[in-house]
Structure 1
Amino acid sequence: MMSLLKNLAMVFLVGALSPLHSHIFTHAASTSPPVTRSRIIFLTAQDTDDDYGEGEFNNESSPPVVMATVNTAILYQEPKICKYNPCQENQELCAQLSARTKCICPGVSGADEPPHAPRIQALLPISEGNDTGNVEVQWCAPSSVVFWYRVLVEGRNSDAYKFGVASRRAVVGSLEVGTKVCVEALNNAGHSTPSVFSCKRYDPPKPDNLTWIIGGGVILLLLLTIGSVILWKCKMCKKGKRDSTEGLGNPSYTTGGTL
């Protein structure tokens, strides 16, 4: 019974709201703006002067690009030899020069073996300065690792001269002709073996013949000049005496000035 009453109430309510619902939709339809649709016009060009290249619309894929093989040339550079003079004194060591400039020291033996023998360059007498009368030894460094040098003079075995690694000359005092002088190179592995290049006998250089000739010519010229002056003086003296003697023997000659 209750369900029937509920159904009747719902029917009544729907019937009462139907006129109101239709009025609302009618008012909305009358006030809303009309719906317009855009018209699309398609134009087909029959005759056109535009000339489009066929290549612009060519969708065909382009042929593959073949890359050419590039040969890279590798330049060979000869090794750079260090500018090192083994006979020059107080210069930068070759090992230090190689580390700084990346050059190569020619044929240098290691520090774990005794060095090669140095080469004596000259034994020269000193003629100027405080060491006048002494002899200077000059040598060239070997192609080895050297820590210091030792100069040995024949007859002075207990008096060896030691010099630093940058030294290339030494004064050994006065020497007699024929005295043997040797230069040794040393490092922690030992010392060099004496050779014909590291030892030399003192033989002072002989004066140049041309110097003697020039000196003799100058001395002879001076003697001739002095002799000529002396002879001229003697002749002048003799002439003066002769003139004086002839004047005294002449009768017309008088010291009083009157006859």
Structure 2
Amino acid sequence: MSIPASLFLVVVWTVYPRGSSPTSMGHPLPTPLKENHVFPSAPAPHGEEASMSTPLKVYLDDDYDYDDDNVQTERVPSPMPPRCNYSHCHHLQVPCAELSKASRCLCPGITGPLVAPEAPRLQTVHVSEAGASLHWCAPSSIVEAYQLQYQLIGDNDDVHVGPALGSTFRMASISGLLPNREYLFCVVAFNLVGASPTDDGFQERGPCRLVRTPSRQTSYAYVAVGVACTLIVAVVSVLAWYFCHRRRKYSHHGSLHNILDGGLGITGAANSSFQSEEQL
């Protein structure tokens, strides 16, 4: 006896509750919505709310460079400024800071203002009997002034100090020295911190130099002048004696022409004036 189709549906509806009936694929059926439950419709977004609620689309790119914003710029190196026409050894040299400000050039490196200056380099020392002239080169430091110092070796180590010189000076002279004596000359640099060091004068490029003044030359000059005057007087005396002796010889013996004109006899030369007087 066959079961009617309507009775089969009633049995199935009874066994399986609502919302859990399996489908033909074995999955439960969705629960149907009640007719009296109505969801309120949300208002459409507009303005700033629309922009905030709009989903953002993010694109990921493996080649994206986050350091330079994916902009590759070629940097051209700028040319280096030229070096200033500054010399450490030029007398009355314009400070390098002024040259750099005027032409935007680069100055050589120097120590700071809170460091004592390094020792200047004494280039040459020219000495005479009673004086000396010194030429030096500036150190790579900030210098406010220079000063010359000299000492007579063996004179109880007394150091003579010259006046302060400007920072642009590279030459100076010293007077009042003694001839044929040994001196120690030094150049000292000063700034607000202190003074540069000195040495014993034996360093080749140091700030000091040991020099001996030449001996006095005036005595030799006097001797030379005296010898020259003696020779001149002797030559003049010889010439004067020669001319005087020759004139005296002619006055006593006469000339050769006078002797021939007068004729020679036993008694000597004839006197024409005496014969004319006898005839009268």
TM-score (norm 2): 0.49
What is the aligned length? Answer: 174
CA 1:157–1:232: 2 relative to 1, 3 Å: closer
Report what 2:105 is aligned to. 103
Residue 239 of structure 1, aligned match among 233, 236, 246: 246
Relative distance call for 1:258 and 1:118 in structure 2 (3 A) is farther
| Residue in structure 1 matched with residue 189 of structure 2 by the alignment | 185
Q: What's the offset of the Cα at 1:91? A: 2.9
Letter of the structure 1 residue corresponding to residue 99 of structure 2: L
Say if 1:223 and 1:160 are closer, same or farther in 2 by CA, change over 3 A. closer
The residue aligned with 1:92 is 94
Greater relative contact order (Cα < 8 A, sep 6+): 1
Q: Encode CA deviations 1:34-82: one digit per residue, 9 max, x unaligned.
A: xxxxxxxxxxxxxxxxxxxxxxxxxxxxxxxxxxxxx989577454221
Q: Are the equivalent residues in 2 in contact too, given 1:151–1:184 (CA < 8 A)?
A: yes
The gaps in structure 1 that reach 5 residues or longer are: 1-70, 128-132, 207-215
Structure 1 residues 233 and 158: alpha-carbon distance in aligned structure 2, compared to 1, 3 A threshold = closer
Distance in 1, matches of 2:117 and 2:245, equals 82
SS, match of residue 172 in structure 1? strand
Q: Deviations over 1:59-110 (max 9, x none)?
A: xxxxxxxxxxxx9895774542211222233231112212221112223222
Name the residue aligned to 1:200. Answer: 209
Q: Is the 2:128–2:214 Cα contact (8 Å) retained in structure 1?
A: no
Which residue of structure 2 lines up, in the alignment, with residue 115 of structure 1?
117
Alignment partner of 1:252 is 2:272: no
Change beyond 3 A, Cα 1:257–1:178: farther
Change (3 A) 1:203 1:102: farther
Whole-angstrom distance in 1 between the partners of 2:160 and 2:238: 64
- Cα deviation for residue 112 of structure 1 reads 2.0
**Greater helix fraction, Structure 1 or Structure 2:** 1
Q: Distance in 2 between matches of 1:107 and 1:258?
A: 115
For residues 181 and 158 of structure 1, do their structure 2 counterparts lie closer, same or farther at Cα, with a shift above 3 Å needed? closer
Q: Hey, what does 1:53 align to over in structure 2?
A: none
Q: Deviations over 1:5-57 (max 9, x none)?
A: xxxxxxxxxxxxxxxxxxxxxxxxxxxxxxxxxxxxxxxxxxxxxxxxxxxxx
Q: CA deviation at 1:189?
A: 2.5
Q: 3-state DSSP class of the match of 1:202? A: strand
Show the counterpart of 1:3: none
Structure 2 unmatched ranges of 5 or more: 1-72, 152-156, 216-223, 276-280
Alpha carbons 1:182, 1:194 under 8 Å: kept: yes
Q: Is the 8 A contact 2:150 2:184 kept in 1?
A: yes
Q: For residue 195 of structure 2, what is the amino acid of its counterpart?
A: H
Which residue pairs with 2:31 in the alignment? Answer: none
Amino acid at match of 1:134: G
1:143-188 deviations in Å (ceiling 9; x for gaps): 2110111222114436453222122233332224311011111112
In structure 2, the residue matched to 1:138 is: 135
Kept in 2: contact 1:179–1:202 (CA 8 A)? yes
1:258 Cα deviation (Å)?
4.5
Give the CA RMSD over aligned residues: 4.2
Describe the shift of the 1:200–1:228 C-alpha distance in structure 2 as closer, same or farther (beyond 3 A).
same
Q: Distance in 2 between the 1:119 and 1:109 partners?
A: 16
Tell which deviates more after alignment, 154-163 or 180-189: 154-163
TM-score normalised by the chain length of structure 1: 0.52
Query: Is the 1:152–1:161 contact (alpha carbons within 8 Å) kept by the matching residues of 2?
Result: no
